[in-house]
Homo-oligomer: A and B are copies of this chain.
Amino acid sequence: MNKKVDVQVKVLSENDKLAAEIRQRLKEKKIVSMNLVSSPGSGKTSLLEKTLAALKDKLNMVLIAGDVQTENDSIRLTKAGGKVVRPIVTGGACHLDAKMITKALADVDLANVDILFVENVGNLVCPSSYDLGEDMKVVLISTTEGDDKPSKYPGMFRRSSVMVINKTDLLGHSDFDMDKVKENALKINGNLKIFELSCRTGEGLDKWFDWLLSLKQTK
């Protein structure tokens, strides 16, 4: 089993080298980058659709959408107005890695880009271990998933800078306790910035949009 561990360390270190290169490249271009992570179906694509619709004239956004199979998310994001959308189909792999991001960005003109969104594979475990060169991880959970998710999947919440609680329109249809989930998450990571919103009704999206706009850097 030592052999397994050694190989994993080697793979991760190759990943970290590539991630550092991506980070440097984005920093030089003054691009803010976010790695969106969550369970399948928490609403990563929906949040990006709403963000594109609201901010496409105010922010220059590039989107990379990862999926195990299909390019559905990329198609949705292109329909929503995404001018630069790059799909990654992992073909079974449970997370994105830095090499995939490097490849996806190869033909993208990064001049004048404000924000790079990377939508990771829907998985609350594995993507937490892979640095993609992003400035921050944004973890989404939805009110239909249960308020115990931060305690049960602490790695992802520890490594994220932002937590978005989606589907607030469905509060009351389950035992989900908003105060409890925030308390649990903040116990794991006291620095988490938290947004509560509903991509379906639009409730709370304005704060998310305002925050994204505040991140835009002068070129």
Contact = CB atoms under 8 A, between A and B. Distances in A.
Interface of A: 3-4, 7, 11, 39-41, 67-70, 72, 92-94, 121-126, 141-142, 144-146, 148-149, 151-155, 167, 169-170, 173-174, 200
Given A40-B152, A122-B124, 9 more contacts: A39-B145, A40-B124, A40-B145, A69-B153, A92-B155, A94-B125, A122-B152, A144-B170, A169-B173
Contacts of A11: 4
A153 B126 CA distance: 15
Nearest to A46: B146
Contacts of A167: 144
Contact of A144 (B41, B152, B153, B155): B41
Counting every copy of the chain, the complex holds 2
Nearest to A128: B92
A106 to B, nearest CB: 20
SS of A interface (majority): loop
Contact of A68 (B68, B121, B152): B152
Contacts of A41: 39, 141-142, 144-146, 149
Nearest to A68: B153
Contacts of A124: 39-40, 122-123
A152 B39 contact: no
A149 B40 contact: yes
Contacts of A145: 39-41
B122 A153 contact: yes
A145 B142 CA distance: 9
A169 B39 CA distance: 21
9 contacts: A3-B7, A4-B11, A39-B41, A40-B149, A67-B152, A69-B152, A70-B152, A92-B125, A123-B126
B154 A69 contact: yes
A139 to B, nearest CB: 11
